Structure 1
Amino acid sequence: MSERKILNESMGVGVSVGGASLESIGIQLQSSMLQLKGLYLSPDGRGVDYGRIKESEEFNRYREIAKTLTTVDVMKESNEEQRKAFFINVYNSLTIHGLVDADVLPSSVLEMKGFWRNTCYNIGGYILSLDDIEHGILRCNRPHPSDETTPLFSSTDERLKLSLSSFDPRLHFALVCGAKSCPAIQVYSANKLERALNGATRNFCSQEVVIDVANRKVTLSKLFLWYFKDFGSTVEELLAWVSNYLDDNKDINYLLNDVSNINIEYKDYDWLINKL
């Protein structure tokens, strides 16, 4: 994938053609995603039947909804929570759309060159890739992990106005990249976003955080390594953040009494496609 691929481009590329509200299109998107999730995802949300989705009428209907994203006015009558839920859902659905549309589904998402940089939707006239949505909008225009100094959107980029103003680290456990080690796929709504993000974070941490008190060792997902600065500036701040989302945090709090003597290890990340 060497060039940007706009998966909903039939209604025009780079030109806003309407002003439909984010809320109205967001509801349609949520409804379609919930239908696909119920039919073609594993009960835990971590496996996707891409083959069956590709041949389904439900996905054909989803494609039509994706086309209407070209008409949305993201800033019209919407607040920050609505935009956050909207772009989380768009990111996850664009990931699935990109993998379903692949000529040949590879064994690993890493085999799809430039997948996150080049898989795009036209949203209200703005061409937005997976990277643009994650780092430019949801992470409040923070640098990509591969570049620790340069914000994704330049100061003259018109898409900068779409960036959220308040950063929420919990989004890392709501976004799905198509790999087996990714968080579970959920569908988010603005009026239940706080509870849903807490639940997604707790669910991920319960599976990916291992505490060995005897050896003073904490094992974490590599998401915490790649996005270390999103959780704090020190190991102590990172682990203190994690402790808030563990059902039983007495062990990690015990270790935090002497943070200088904690061993941090990171699990290998399984990049194999999360297919059923």
Structure 2
Amino acid sequence: MFTFVNRLLILTAVVFSCSLFAAPKADLWDYWQPFADAKAVDIDHQPYQEFLDSYLVVQGQHTLVKYNQVTTQDKQSLKTYLSKMSEVDPHQLTREQQYAFWVNLYNAFTIDIILDNYPTKSITKIGGLFSFGPWDKEITTINGQALTLNDIEHRILRPIWQDPRTHYAVNCASLGCPNLQQRAFTEANTEQLLQQAMQSYISSDKGVLLSNGQLTLSSIYDWFEVDFGGSDGVIDHLAEIRPEVANFSGKVKFDYDWSLNEVK
């Protein structure tokens, strides 16, 4: 018998599946804007770098994580790193330090969440029956302010820096995502890593695939089109690396693979 409850569950499933296509807008959280004029504090990202050195593997166009091989000791080391990062006052960091701080915090917490819920087929399966992923779950408190992954990406990184390359820096633990960088971000290497990540992703099939008269782009360029200056801005951005995209006049398709970025 098809009950009211059945109908409600189906309707709810439809609503949440549609949320796949509704990316959060950049919504500035003013509190996090201040930064130090000069460097006065050093941030030690070495524990996170050691994790990357131990558990990242490049396979084809993907950089994968050996989640199933992470030791209990290394899981704890990652949590200790995150705990120490959460004690930092970002207002004491320069603008360059802050960017690296937030990107590393986002990526390290994403890894930590996967490890706490491993095995899982996709990060989208984490967060409860009616949640599409863990992005709105509180992950830490800094300066007395509770933070989620969405806060870091959409209320801090995107609106404060207004650099579309941020989408190549933060990693959502999925195959369709720009790869997790093999080096922790620092104030010294951020520009290099952003350019490297951008070029790598746009050059890959998961970023841009032109085949048999069909152009398939990562859904990132649909969800966050506004960050690239609209649809024309997306094409101009991609054409910097893939000039053939500028002359394409056919149908454009968007795609994204939410499968976990794991070494199997």
Answer whether TM exceeds 0.5 for this pair: yes
Does the 8 Å contact 1:210/1:218 carry over to 2?
A: yes
Aligned partner (choices 133, 147, 152) of residue 133 of structure 1: 152
Does the 8 Å contact 1:94/1:119 carry over to 2?
A: no
After superposition, residues 131-210 of structure 1 pair within 5 angstroms as 131-140=150-159, 164=160, 166-186=161-181, 187-207=184-204, 208-210=207-209
Q: Aligned to 2:146, what secondary structure does the other structure show? A: strand
| Distance 1:79-1:107 versus aligned 2 partners, 3 A rule | same
Q: Which residue of 2 aligns with 1:47?
A: 64
CA distance in 2, matches of 1:193, 1:134: 16
Does the 8 Å contact 1:121/1:128 carry over to 2?
A: yes
Q: What is the CA distance between 1:119 and its match in structure 2?
A: 4.8
Does the 8 Å contact 2:78/2:108 carry over to 1?
A: no
CA distance in 1, matches of 2:168, 2:84: 27
Q: Which residue of 2 aligns with 1:15?
A: none
CA distance in 1, matches of 2:200, 2:40: 29
Q: What is the CA distance between 1:189 and its match in structure 2?
A: 1.2
| Distance 1:176-1:119 versus aligned 2 partners, 3 A rule | farther
Does the 8 Å contact 2:102/2:157 carry over to 1?
A: yes
Aligned partner (choices 250, 254, 259) of residue 247 of structure 2: 254
Does residue 270 in structure 1 map to residue 263 in structure 2?
no
State the one-letter code of the partner of 2:239: S
Does the 8 Å contact 2:217/2:254 carry over to 1?
A: yes
CA distance in 2, matches of 1:22, 1:263: 52
Does the 8 Å contact 1:70/1:125 carry over to 2?
A: no
Q: Which residue of 2 aligns with 1:242?
A: 238
Q: What is the CA distance between 1:219 and its match in structure 2?
A: 1.8
* TM-score w.r.t. length of structure 2: 0.74
Superimposed CA distance per residue, residues 24-68 of structure 1 (whole angstroms, 9 cap, x where no aligned partner)? 3x3x2x211211111111136621122322x24233222222222
Q: What is the CA distance between 1:218 and its match in structure 2?
A: 2.7
Q: What is the CA distance between 1:178 and its match in structure 2?
A: 1.4
Q: Which residue of 2 aligns with 1:66?
A: 82
CA distance in 1, matches of 2:81, 2:179: 23
Q: What is the CA distance between 1:22 and its match in structure 2?
A: 8.6
CA distance in 2, matches of 1:203, 1:119: 31
| Distance 1:94-1:23 versus aligned 2 partners, 3 A rule | farther
Does the 8 Å contact 1:94/1:121 carry over to 2?
A: no
Percentage of pairs with the same residue = 25
Aligned partner (choices 217, 229, 237) of residue 226 of structure 2: 229
* TM-score w.r.t. length of structure 1: 0.71
Aligned partner (choices 108, 122, 138) of residue 122 of structure 2: 108
Number of equivalenced pairs: 214
CA distance in 1, matches of 2:58, 2:245: 30
| Distance 1:263-1:106 versus aligned 2 partners, 3 A rule | same
Q: Which residue of 2 aligns with 1:161?
A: none
CA distance in 2, matches of 1:193, 1:69: 18
